[in-house]
Amino acid sequence: MNLKNALFEKINFNEDELKVILGSFEKESIIKGEHIIKTGKTCDKLYYIKEGIFRSYYINESGKDITQWFFNDGKFMTSIESFYQQKPSLYNIQALEDAVVYSINRKKLDTLFNTYPKAERFGRLLAIEMLIKVSNKLNAIQFQKAKERYEYMITEFPNIYYRVPLGYIASYLGMTQETLSRIRKK
Amino acid sequence: MNLKNALFEKINFNEDELKVILGSFEKESIIKGEHIIKTGKTCDKLYYIKEGIFRSYYINESGKDITQWFFNDGKFMTSIESFYQQKPSLYNIQALEDAVVYSINRKKLDTLFNTYPKAERFGRLLAIEMLIKVSNKLNAIQFQKAKERYEYMITEFPNIYYRVPLGYIASYLGMTQETLSRIRKK
DNA sequence: ATTATTTTTTGATTTATATCAAAGGATTGC
DNA sequence: GCAATCCTTTGATATAAATCAAAAAATAAT
């Protein structure tokens, strides 16, 4: 899906609005393995993924790499609390495949929010959509057995689960890669 | 905190705006144990809690009562995906103490959103705030031991953890009440 | 192609927490 | 004030998943 359709899906922007909004984004190419934001830095951009897969992750106190979320094409992505509250990011975000994205910085986005109430609404709907997804993951993680968590993964990310390293999925689901490997065998 | 200050905390509404917005809310009293929304019903109201504590919960496939979230005074509360997407609620929300709330229905809120871009912005900031909190819980639940999860609870809900039944906290944290009881002993 | 590196699988053992069961405490209602 | 609920604690046992270790498979580099 392209950015225009992604915007249109939630809000009926008119042609003029679309022109300005689309014009505020810049195209970027990112190669596999590259980071768009690192822990400790303040994230200044919101991204729309045209092609590719990304993950957010952090290294915990015991040195383990923990994947927090996957972002695939057609979705918006940022280090939320860093971008919106302009404070250091707790997460790294890394491309898992060569990717093409459209980005907008905080300043330009604020201008859009101030100029077009519809843009503000789009932002609100996007936040709510993400909130519901995170809640769903929480429910899956909180009370389900390892096998059911993997089933949740397949439902939530049907286009991703077979494309990214098993270890990343395991930590995303709150289990070790050995456990996930054993589950997959069945 | 009162509703006016809660609004003012995020957005500099002017006097006229505040008057209309505050006038759109209705005061309600709810007694301990009562439900403001039940599973399967569509939630039509957003609440501001002036006094009291609430919890959202559901009964899972094996019949267990699982607390999903706690809401205390000074916070906004609703069954998010039900209220915003107008579909049946997955959760019940119940008062754990006698409570006083201010409520606004979806229709009136939409009018406010359409009339005052600042209200829309308030809605966006509220959604983001909640999103960050849910993410924090997810990180606590996903990779921490039972003891650390209880410490997260104390940090996130310093005014609640000693006021609600231990069983509710246990399921909120993804553990059994026996485990939580043993942790508390220390 | 061959080596080097990364990722996944498999096995043996340990551990945190769930489950089952029952006894104590604390509240609520009459 | 006593009975009836409800909530919390304690103990014994079971279990899902973590940990540790190493082999096998897949991918990338020379």
Q: Is CATH 2.60.120.10 the right assignment for the domain spanning B3-185?
A: yes
pLDDT for B141 equals 87
Q: Which residue has the higher pLDDT, B145 or A103?
A: A103
pLDDT for A60 equals 83
What lies within 8 Å, CB to CB, of B102 at 6+ separation is B3, B25, B26, B27, B28, B47, B48, B50
Whole-angstrom CA distances from A182 to A119, A141, A177, B35 are: 46, 18, 9, 43
Average pLDDT over residues A87-112: 95
What lies within 8 Å, CB to CB, of A116 at 6+ separation is A13, A17, A20, A21
Structure-block tokens of residue A21: 């909004």
Closest residue to A131, CB basis, from B64, B121, B127: B127
Phi, psi of B70 (to 5 degrees): -110, 140
Could you list the pLDDT tens digit for every one of the 186 residues in chain B?
899 999 999 999 999 999 999 999 999 999 999 999 999 999 999 999 999 999 999 988 778 899 999 999 999 999 998 999 999 999 999 999 999 999 999 999 999 999 999 999 999 999 999 999 999 999 888 888 899 999 999 999 998 999 999 999 999 999 999 999 999 987
Nucleotides of chain D in contact with protein CB (under 7 A) are 7-12, 16-21
Write out chain A in H/E/C secondary structure: CCHHHHHHHHCCCCHHHHHHHHHHCEEEEECCCCEEECCCCECCEEEEEEECEEEEEEECCCCCEEEEEEEECCCEECCHHHHHHCCECCCEEEECCCEEEEEEEHHHHHHHHHHCHHHHHHHHHHHHHHHHHHHHHHHHHHHCCHHHHHHHHHHHCCCCCCCCCHHHHHHHCCCCHHHHHHHHHC
Structure-block tokens of residue A155: 């439902």
Sorted by where each begins, the domain ranges of chain A are 3-185
Average pLDDT over residues A28-37: 92
Interior/surface letters A83-107, b for 16+ CB within 10 angstroms, e for the rest: bbeeeebbbbbbbbbebebbbbbbe
Number of A–B residue contacts, CB under 8 Å: 75
Residue A139 has pLDDT above 80, yes or no: yes
pLDDT for A144 equals 87
Chain B contact for A23, CB < 8 A? no
pLDDT for B1 equals 84
Instruction: Give the three-class secondary structure for B31.
Output: coil
Instruction: Provide, in whole angstroms, the distance separating residue B94's CA from nucleotide D10's C1'.
Output: 31
Distance from CA of A106 to the nearest CA of B (A): 15
How many Å apart are CA A6 and CA A132, to the nearest integer?
18
Residue A29 has pLDDT above 90, yes or no: yes
Q: Which residues pair with A99 in a beta bridge?
A: A30
Distance from CA of B173 to the nearest CA of A (A): 8
Interchain pair A84, B128: CB under 8 A: yes
pLDDT for A64 equals 87
pLDDT for B185 equals 87
Average pLDDT value over all residues in chain A: 93
Least confident among A46-55, A57-66, A102-111, A148-157: A57-66
Are A113 and A119 contacting, i.e. CB atoms less than 8 angstroms apart?
A: yes
Interchain pair B139, A81: CB under 8 A: no
